[in-house]
A and B are shown apart, each in its own frame.
Chain A
Amino acid sequence: MQAVVQEIVGQMGNEKAPLLQVLLAVQDASPRNYVSEEAVRAIARSMRVSRCRVYSTASFYTEISLKPRGRHLIRICGNAPCENAGRAAIMDAIQKELGIKAGEITADGLISLEKVSCLGACYKSPAIKVDHQIYGNLTPEEAVAIIRSLREEFSNEHNGSPVGI
């Protein structure tokens, strides 16, 4: 961990590295999409700041997770335009399909489901985002179809290999 972090911090300017960008990069390097406690310690050491400061910054931002997440992230927008356009039904359908609630991870560690703030895609509410891709104008059925096919794609990608930290 220290080595991975040191490399990221080194590329970004060592003690002058922008902490938030370091945290995002460290998270991106983690297959479980999170910043572990070990990583927090490593960042503190590499950047010579207190752990408390690193943790504090990491804990503030919703796009940074301090707990392991699934390899893939499904985010469902919960703001008014999407809510109006049927967010709840989409959420229900996806929860049912995945067998988890918002904030949880599927048993195979493949997918996390999160409720988030506006994705800036309200012209096609209800909108969801899967990893880097936004899907809009969804009906619950369409949402489920998308999730189903992506899930298949994801499992093939990881080919049954156990999901590590």
Chain B
Amino acid sequence: MSITDRQLVFNVEGREYVDLDLYRSRGGYEALEKVLAWDPRQAVHMLKEAGLKGRGGASFPTGLKIEMVRNNREKERYIIINADEGEPGTFKDRYIMTHLPFQLLEGVTIAAYLAGISQGILYVRHEYDEPRSVMRDSIAQAQAAGLLGDDILGSGFNLHIELFSGAGSYLCGEETALLSSIEGRKGRPQVKPPYPTQQGLWGKPTLINNVETLSNIPKIIEKGALWYRNLGTNDSPGTKLISLSGDIQFRGLVEVPFGTSFRDIVYKYGGGPKPGRKVKAVNIGGASGVLVPEEMLDVPLEYGACSRAGITIGSGAVFVLDDTRSILDNVSNRINFFLHESCGKCTPCREGLRQAQIIMEKLLEGRAVMKDVENLERYTRVMQNASFCGLGQAAGNSVISSLHYYDQEYRGQCVDGDCLYGEESA
């Protein structure tokens, strides 16, 4: 199912496990060797040139983040590899850890070297037993091969990576909650600023990056910024791993150059809906992402274009609902998810979700009135506007986008549905 003949960053089509020997035989760790001989600033510059942005959701420029940590006066610094992948419908970091562990480790090592960091933590969600054990082995192998640990490749650079297991909390993927978790507290987010790059783990400057982000780095160094930029678009260079799930022919991980349309992602990469079915809605970006109708699929996968179209790429999960599905079921499922994962710290998220859940239940049971829908919209808007962290801010995306595109489904579930909503209430 080769959509493109080009060499990409991950080349996931073969779904092969790349062990250390294979990885090295294909040029693995040459990027690290190169970088160790360079002036770190040169390599940081290259990452900036390449336009690599964070794949964990916030799409922050990675080169800049590395530089911010690097320029901090405090010398005790940490790198945290965010492998808490909890966004429902997402399995890209799982894939990288189980299939391409050394590409990740090389990326981590380069990033740490560039930022002047010698201690790292790989935070893997608890549910990921297999990725954790692969990474544990891979770290040990890399260490044995002189690619991690003390005096890496004879350069005098040290990097020690510890595995840390999450314990069942989606929110711990949020960087400040992640820090709380490592420091032994509840995984609650903290006030920013200070940002982790200023005061992160144990108050020290900390580079926190997503697994996919870091795994891009070796290829950029190896093949150059221009190569990388040419993979994607000017706005969004490179490629994105897309986790495909739902009512489509092919479910699984694909690597897609930025600029590809969602239509191609769903129909070419995903093979389109099951025979005889039509695409009703596509949920982009996981539980915290939006729901868009078929007509919107021509929007290209690109940060700028998506943002203009109100789409959040997020983790790159693409979940397809066909015409047999109920939008409200999906929204309700996601509200329940967020209620389960909300830390409960701030009022809008905790109480807003509580009310949203009650209203969704009423809707599903056909007991709601249009006033409920109005309230639902208001509560989710306030959650978005005023929640403490990204969880609460994004938790209402399903409601807001589906009210926009599928308001008739809400109306249809209201006792007084057809006369009031969207019209002048005479």
Interface of A with B (CB < 8 Å)? 18-21, 23-24, 53, 56-57, 59-64, 75, 78-81, 83-84, 116-125, 129, 132-134
Q: How many residues of B contact A (CB 8 A)?
A: 52
CB-CB < 8 A to B402: which residues of A?
A: none
Q: A60-B186, A132-B129 are in contact. Are A118 and B246 (CB under 8 A)?
A: no
B242-274 contact mask (Cβ, 8 Å, vs A): 1 or 0: 011111000111000000000000000000000
B77-118 contact mask (Cβ, 8 Å, vs A): 1 or 0: 000000001111111011000000000000000000000000
Cα A58 to Cα B340 in complex, Å, equals 16
Given contacts A20-B166, A57-B184, A122-B317, could you give 9 more A-B pairs where the C-beta distance is less than 8 Å?
A: A61-B169, A63-B168, A84-B321, A118-B88, A120-B91, A120-B127, A122-B88, A122-B251, A123-B245
Minimum CB distance partner of A22 in chain B: B184
Interface of B with A (CB < 8 Å)? 85-91, 93-94, 125-130, 164-170, 181-182, 184-188, 243-247, 251-253, 283, 287, 317, 319, 321, 325, 329-330, 333-334, 336-337, 340-341, 343
| Neighbour of A80 across the interface among B89, B93, B128, CB < 8 A | B89
Q: How far is the CB of B212 from chain A (nearest CB, A)?
A: 13
CB-CB < 8 A to A21: which residues of B?
A: 164-165
Q: How far is the CB of B20 from chain A (nearest CB, A)?
A: 24
Q: A24-B126, A80-B319, A81-B319 are in contact. Are A116 and B168 (CB under 8 A)?
A: yes
Cα A132 to Cα B182 in complex, Å, equals 23
A-B contact count (CB 8 A): 127
CB-CB < 8 A to A129: which residues of B?
A: 127
CB-CB < 8 A to A125: which residues of B?
A: 245, 251
CB of A24 within 8 A of CB of B167, answer yes
Cα A64 to Cα B172 in complex, Å, equals 14
| Neighbour of A61 across the interface among B187, B330, B334, B337, CB < 8 A | B187
CB of B246 within 8 A of CB of A20, answer no
Between A and B, 7 residue pairs with Cβ closer than 8 Å are A63-B167, A75-B127, A80-B337, A81-B89, A84-B330, A116-B168, A125-B245
CB of A123 within 8 A of CB of B253, answer yes
Cα A45 to Cα B330 in complex, Å, equals 46
Q: How far is the CB of B186 from chain A (nearest CB, A)?
A: 4
Cα A117 to Cα B337 in complex, Å, equals 7
CB-CB < 8 A to B243: which residues of A?
A: 122-123
Cα A154 to Cα B330 in complex, Å, equals 36
Minimum CB distance partner of B251 in chain A: A123
CB-CB < 8 A to A64: which residues of B?
A: 167-168
Minimum CB distance partner of B329 in chain A: A83
CB of A23 within 8 A of CB of B325, answer no
Q: How far is the CB of B341 from chain A (nearest CB, A)?
A: 7
CB of A80 within 8 A of CB of B330, answer yes
Cα A79 to Cα B334 in complex, Å, equals 7
Q: How far is the CB of B81 from chain A (nearest CB, A)?
A: 16
CB-CB < 8 A to B283: which residues of A?
A: 80
Q: How far is the CB of B311 from chain A (nearest CB, A)?
A: 17
Q: A61-B168, A122-B251 are in contact. Are A116 and B245 (CB under 8 A)?
A: no
CB-CB < 8 A to B325: which residues of A?
A: 84
CB of B252 within 8 A of CB of A20, answer no
Q: How far is the CB of A41 from chain B (nearest CB, A)?
A: 17
Q: A19-B184, A120-B91 are in contact. Are A84 and B246 (CB under 8 A)?
A: yes
CB-CB < 8 A to A53: which residues of B?
A: 184-185
Closest 7 CB pairs of A and B: A19-B184, A63-B168, A62-B168, A61-B167, A79-B88, A60-B186, A118-B88
| Neighbour of B170 across the interface among A56, A57, A117, CB < 8 A | A117
Q: How far is the CB of A60 from chain B (nearest CB, A)?
A: 4
Q: How far is the CB of A133 from chain B (nearest CB, A)?
A: 8
Q: How far is the CB of A83 from chain B (nearest CB, A)?
A: 5
Minimum CB distance partner of A121 in chain B: B91
CB of A20 within 8 A of CB of B321, answer no
Cα A117 to Cα B84 in complex, Å, equals 13
Cα A30 to Cα B152 in complex, Å, equals 39
Cα A124 to Cα B253 in complex, Å, equals 11
